[in-house]
Structure 1
Amino acid sequence: MLKPKMTPTRELVSLDGTWRFDLDSRLGQRPWEAPLDTSLEAAVPASYNDLFVDEEIRNHVGWAYYQRMVQVPRGWGAERIYLRFDAATHAAKVYVDDVFVGEHVGGYTPFAIDVTDHVDAGQPFRLTVAVSGDLTNETIPPGKIEVGMTGRQSQTYFHDFYNYAGLARSVWLCTTPHDRIEDVVVTTDYEGADGAVTYRADVAGSGSGAVRVSLADADGAVVAEATGASGVLSVTDVTLWKPGSAYLYDLTVELLDGDAVIDSYTLPVGVRTVEVRGTQFLINGERFYFTGFGKHEDTPVRGKGHDDAYMVHDFHLMDWIGANSFRTSHYPYAEEVLEFADRHGIVVIDETAAVGLNMGVVGGMSGTPPFPTFSEQYANDITQAAHAQHIRELITRDRNHPSVVMWCLANEPASNEDGAREYFEPLVTLARELDPTRPMAYALVMFATFENDQCIDLFDVVCMNRYYGWYVASGDLATAEMYLAGDIKGWIERTGKPIMMTEYGADTMEGLHSVHTQVWTEEYQRDYLEMNHRVFDRFPEFVGEQIWNFADFATTNAIHRVGGNKKGVFTRDRRPKSVAFDLRKRWTGLAGRKPGTDASGQG
């Protein structure tokens, strides 16, 4: 699905702003058939949970309704008109005036609904969107809804971040021509000084227009041209997209009727390659060492609402600290984030919303599940089908971004349990069919060891989430160091694959200090990370370190979280903790390569 943008043949109108808002429990039957009977207004984009001083809204289970009037521009009479939602968490139903026009399930990927037959150019219409944040064992991410002693429903979920809901990303009214470019798929390669951009343009509509493509460099000069819906563009003296040194070409695809341009769309393209070779992770044939974070789309008041100001500030904090990468834990981020990464040379591990596929977590640190994760009771065939759809939508949305170098298909699944391989093998096959050019991974939970994991051979990189010194051997860093070194060594010996840490961290209260070894202090966070880095640097097979987390973030109301997860290197409002200055010294010295190697990645 092409992201809406203004082109010579396309227009769009932002529907962001404040919308009428209320809960299904406060509205009558079929509330979309009239103006919502409410005085509340909700901001879009934003999660709705923290906008109001109202516990019922914050913890709502069920549907919430957004509504606004929309004016269709009068010049759109000959165009295809559609609504485009960048995301609606976790499910949405859409109504134009009194008519149901479409729905979508999945909270972090976009969807579009053709409303050409339901609206008129120059006329207004009433737009109502029902959004549900409910999670069950058949959704991704999973959860369950229970009815308590008071008779009220409550949502339980098996991931450690707050289940924000609503229209957290932008909403658009857009046009395309009826005969149009529906999608563009790009892959890149190079040999010596010559680059290759392989493209495929999918067209839709009743006509059968010809396709013309051109590639322009950063100065606007056309460097390659071709005709046809698929082909290869050759680029002489190509400038590669590199980590920390982004270079983008513009690929313009035009649909023609004779000499007339029916539709036009321009896509930024970065020429680069990604490869796993033995125990090395290579970008453009050079060894790459990940430094950075697991992150969250999480800010005060907005929840998971996308905010350009926070995005820009976060990227500059990552640049200041020397981070070259991040993982979109634990869901696809807004497309604006990936576009920014494309433009600034930041490397991204792109993750689906499959977090919580692990009943062992419910069993606590024993790792003993109350019932099997991969069973009719929990992750069943319907869950797997939902997971497959998430993979399709993620890869289809993000496969053209040069910043995305690896797909992460799940966070901390029960890959040590029976049934895990049967669950994941068809999903890996699907992902490789959708994109054969990028490595695949999943983030390993601590219960999944090099001795009992059942899936790692299906994937390309071993991504470990490990908390020795925090959840295991808490406060005992000497023991934790032995555990960690043995764990990494075991994975190396079993797999012969690149190894990286996608999560390691310690909860830290800003301003809490002690001369003794004491968890939660800023000194302990510094000592904890120093111990991990000391171990990482022993192994040439180790290809990266991403700390959990970039910033403190909101979680459930559970008693083990006081004001959220405090593992951030920055506070939730982006103030650095003491360890940030240690990391800056380490990471700016690494410059994207493994300690002890030269600029080419060689020892």
Structure 2
Amino acid sequence: ALAKEGWRRVHVPSVNNARGSENEGYQGVTWYRRVFEVRSGLLSGSRRVFLIFHSVNYVADVWLNGEYVGYHEGGFTPFVFDVTRSLREGVNELVVRVDNVPWDSEDSRFVAVPYKKCDWWNYGGIYRDVYLEVVNATYIARLDLVPRKLGGGWSLEARAVIVSASGKRVKLELRVHPASSASGLEPDARSIANLSETSVALSQEVELEPGVSVVVLRADGLSVREWSPESPALYVATARLVEGETVLDEVWDQFGFREVGVKGSRILLNGEPVFLKGLSRHEDYPGLGRALTPGLIYEDLRIVKEMGANFLRTAHYPNHPLTYVYADRLGLLVWEEIPVYWFDCEGLRVQLARGIAKQMLLETLYRDFNRPSIIVWNLANECGCRDERVALLKDLAQAARRADPTRLLTQAIAWDPSDDTTLRAGLDVLSVNMYFGVFYGKLEDMDAAIKELRRRYPNIPIVISEFGYWSGGGVGEARQAEYFARAWRIIEANRGKVCGAVWWTAFDYDSMIVFDTFGALDWQRGRRKLLFYEIKRAYESFPRAEEGGQKGIAVILLLAAAVAVPPLYAVWKLARKKYLVGAGSNDGERERRFHEKRVG
């Protein structure tokens, strides 16, 4: 049993090992304890209660009132426990053991995702939201919205996953409203809905069986505004489950009418070629680490947009879910990825057997399914061992396409023109990290490298998924900005051969290897380097549309016939969440102590 005394009070969400903190760089076990009350009557009427974690790094074991309710592995994705039987009216005690397994240790090697010492900071703790959600015995677990562009306009397929404790007859109602405003920090989709205008109104009587049911509603021939970076038109969908005069459940979410596909060696957005002017971003801030507030997340993306970018790589792991909500509203195309990072042969073989990377991918995909900003899922970054890598990539791609065949798939490879694993794995985009003149060769070699890639791989879109140079270490801001300008001239001259390029990175960030100064702004976001203005000039002056696009057959990613019922409950139902803890000073506190011997 845990002792009742000797605990420290900390805010949650927060990280437990940020640079400059008392426990800087700590990797190992931390215990959290929270005592809270449940008001009388909350659990009546066959209601169910879910305990939802948005992220804990890396392994979380959870007890409620002394009963072990389960565990989760993976430091960046949400997970849910049904705590209906463990929760009680009055006083409750929640205990969470968090093991931030040290990178490059015997415990993590080849097993964890990631497992090597990576080039970012290994923040530990409960660093994203935790809350209870109370639902009726019959409720909507999730609402997936799938727009498709057809010859006569747009269609919308709405898939509602309904859970019911008993068989009953209900009515599912769907309403879609245009967004009155695409800006604002409030995550609740209702806050941006123009309720005076309705674009879609559908309903269907449903005979529910006990357990899980999937109900599909469809509207065709819709005349709507398309979502794009230049015009991020959003819509708000609300689904209501009604029994007689009683509303059993209601969910809201924002979405957009957007379609992504490929045509020969081009990426298409809503049927037109698009060039990706990109920036990468690590989720990292002084003192806070990865436990960012909504305001800081929004401001980061606003700065990225200000620089003229239309594309954001959220490296190298799933970022906070609000990152993608705000990308929808600001108009940024997004590459989202899982941290299969620098894996070697054994790590790839172990991961194919363990399936944690696949679990992370599906948790990410289901969480962010309705985000129009996300156009590509990245499955790996700079991994070795080609045969083993192809096997894992095929496994991940199969899972991704079964659940979401509407987006592109890629991996980011280190520069090597003979690396054909992207094609062997059947992915959609060839993404290459290029550091000519930084880690190898001369910057001018980038031109020949691009041409060689296009010669070898003529029928796949190519994206330069990283190029960059630091300003620290005696390099200076002027040389960094000059490097970008020279590299961009090469990229611009080859715009018919590549579909985009992503500067590494928008902001400086911390790392377990070396502090990285690749950013166009410093870590504190207080100083805009010369690079900021060079990127802004280049991106804003770059032509928006492709000229002389290639002819070919457009391959649009359509919805598969099979409907995969997600194992993850609706963690995106932000409108109804009841916080146990939050980021502000008045949001409550959680107690924590170091209970086990520190490792590393």
TM-score higher than 0.5: yes
Give the corresponding residue for 2:535: 583
Give the corresponding residue for 2:482: 527
CA distance in 1, matches of 2:111, 2:135: 32
Give the corresponding residue for 1:212: 173
Q: 1:58 aligns with which of 9, 24, 31?
A: 24
Partner AA of 1:500 in structure 2? V
Question: Contact (CA 8 Å) 1:137, 1:378: kept in 2 or not?
Answer: no
Partner AA of 1:64 in structure 2? T
The alpha-carbon deviation at position 113 of structure 1 amounts to: 1.1
Question: Contact (CA 8 Å) 2:113, 2:356: kept in 1 or not?
Answer: no
Task: Sort the Cα spacing of 1:142 and 1:319 in 2 relative to 1 into closer, same or farther, 3 A.
Answer: closer
Task: Sort the Cα spacing of 1:378 and 1:544 in 2 relative to 1 into closer, same or farther, 3 A.
Answer: closer
Equivalent runs, 1:174-323 vs 2, <5 Å: 174-191=133-150, 194-207=153-166, 208=168, 209-218=170-179, 219-220=194-195, 221-228=197-204, 229-234=215-220, 236-323=222-309
Map Cα deviations across residues 373-403 of structure 1 (whole Å, 9 max, x no partner). Answer: 223x764256651111111111111121111
The alpha-carbon deviation at position 74 of structure 1 amounts to: 3.2
2:379 is aligned with 1:409: yes
CA distance in 2, matches of 1:592, 1:63: 50
- SS state at 1:125 partner: strand
Q: 1:426 aligns with which of 391, 395, 401?
A: 395
CA root-mean-square deviation: 2.1
2:453 is aligned with 1:491: yes
Question: Contact (CA 8 Å) 1:140, 1:383: kept in 2 or not?
Answer: no
Task: Sort the Cα spacing of 1:53 and 1:259 in 2 relative to 1 into closer, same or farther, 3 A.
Answer: closer
- SS state at 2:11 partner: strand
Task: Sort the Cα spacing of 1:236 and 1:386 in 2 relative to 1 into closer, same or farther, 3 A.
Answer: closer
- SS state at 1:520 partner: coil
2:356 is aligned with 1:386: yes
Partner AA of 2:96 in structure 1? V
Q: 2:520 aligns with which of 544, 569, 583?
A: 569
Question: Contact (CA 8 Å) 2:56, 2:128: kept in 1 or not?
Answer: yes
The alpha-carbon deviation at position 329 of structure 1 amounts to: 0.6
Question: Contact (CA 8 Å) 2:348, 2:389: kept in 1 or not?
Answer: no
CA distance in 2, matches of 1:248, 1:582: 31
Partner AA of 2:523 in structure 1? R
Give the corresponding residue for 2:465: 502
Aligned length: 511
Question: Contact (CA 8 Å) 2:138, 2:163: kept in 1 or not?
Answer: yes
CA distance in 1, matches of 2:279, 2:142: 32
The alpha-carbon deviation at position 77 of structure 1 amounts to: 2.2
Give the corresponding residue for 1:538: 493
Q: 2:93 aligns with which of 114, 118, 126?
A: 126
- SS state at 1:226 partner: strand
Give the corresponding residue for 1:40: 8
The alpha-carbon deviation at position 432 of structure 1 amounts to: 1.1
The alpha-carbon deviation at position 521 of structure 1 amounts to: 1.7
Give the corresponding residue for 2:42: 76
The alpha-carbon deviation at position 236 of structure 1 amounts to: 3.4
Question: Contact (CA 8 Å) 1:444, 1:464: kept in 2 or not?
Answer: yes
The alpha-carbon deviation at position 317 of structure 1 amounts to: 1.2
- SS state at 1:470 partner: coil
CA distance in 2, matches of 1:589, 1:73: 58
Question: Contact (CA 8 Å) 1:67, 1:128: kept in 2 or not?
Answer: yes
TM-score for both structures, normalised by structure 1: 0.80
Partner AA of 1:224 in structure 2? V
Question: Contact (CA 8 Å) 1:158, 1:356: kept in 2 or not?
Answer: no
TM-score for both structures, normalised by structure 2: 0.81
Question: Contact (CA 8 Å) 1:351, 1:407: kept in 2 or not?
Answer: yes
The alpha-carbon deviation at position 597 of structure 1 amounts to: 7.4
Give the corresponding residue for 1:169: 128
Partner AA of 2:374 in structure 1? V
Give the corresponding residue for 2:408: 439
Percent of pairs identical after alignment? Answer: 25
The alpha-carbon deviation at position 405 of structure 1 amounts to: 0.7
- SS state at 2:250 partner: strand
Question: Contact (CA 8 Å) 2:358, 2:399: kept in 1 or not?
Answer: yes
The alpha-carbon deviation at position 470 of structure 1 amounts to: 0.7
Q: 2:320 aligns with which of 309, 334, 340?
A: 334
Structure 1 segments unaligned to the other structure (5+ residues) = 1-29, 144-156, 358-372, 474-478, 513-518, 599-603
Equivalent runs, 1:334-353 vs 2, <5 Å: 334-353=320-339
Question: Contact (CA 8 Å) 1:443, 1:463: kept in 2 or not?
Answer: yes
Task: Sort the Cα spacing of 1:317 and 1:403 in 2 relative to 1 into closer, same or farther, 3 A.
Answer: same
CA distance in 2, matches of 1:326, 1:91: 28
Partner AA of 1:405 in structure 2? I
Give the corresponding residue for 1:369: none
Question: Contact (CA 8 Å) 2:177, 2:200: kept in 1 or not?
Answer: yes
Task: Sort the Cα spacing of 1:421 and 1:280 in 2 relative to 1 into closer, same or farther, 3 A.
Answer: same
The alpha-carbon deviation at position 120 of structure 1 amounts to: 2.3
The alpha-carbon deviation at position 440 of structure 1 amounts to: 0.5
- SS state at 1:328 partner: strand
CA distance in 2, matches of 1:227, 1:304: 42
CA distance in 1, matches of 2:511, 2:66: 37
- SS state at 2:448 partner: helix
Map Cα deviations across residues 327-354 of structure 1 (whole Å, 9 max, x no partner). Answer: 1110001111111111221111111122
CA distance in 2, matches of 1:346, 1:591: 17
Question: Contact (CA 8 Å) 1:503, 1:548: kept in 2 or not?
Answer: yes
The alpha-carbon deviation at position 452 of structure 1 amounts to: 3.5
Structure 2 segments unaligned to the other structure (5+ residues) = 180-193, 205-214, 550-600
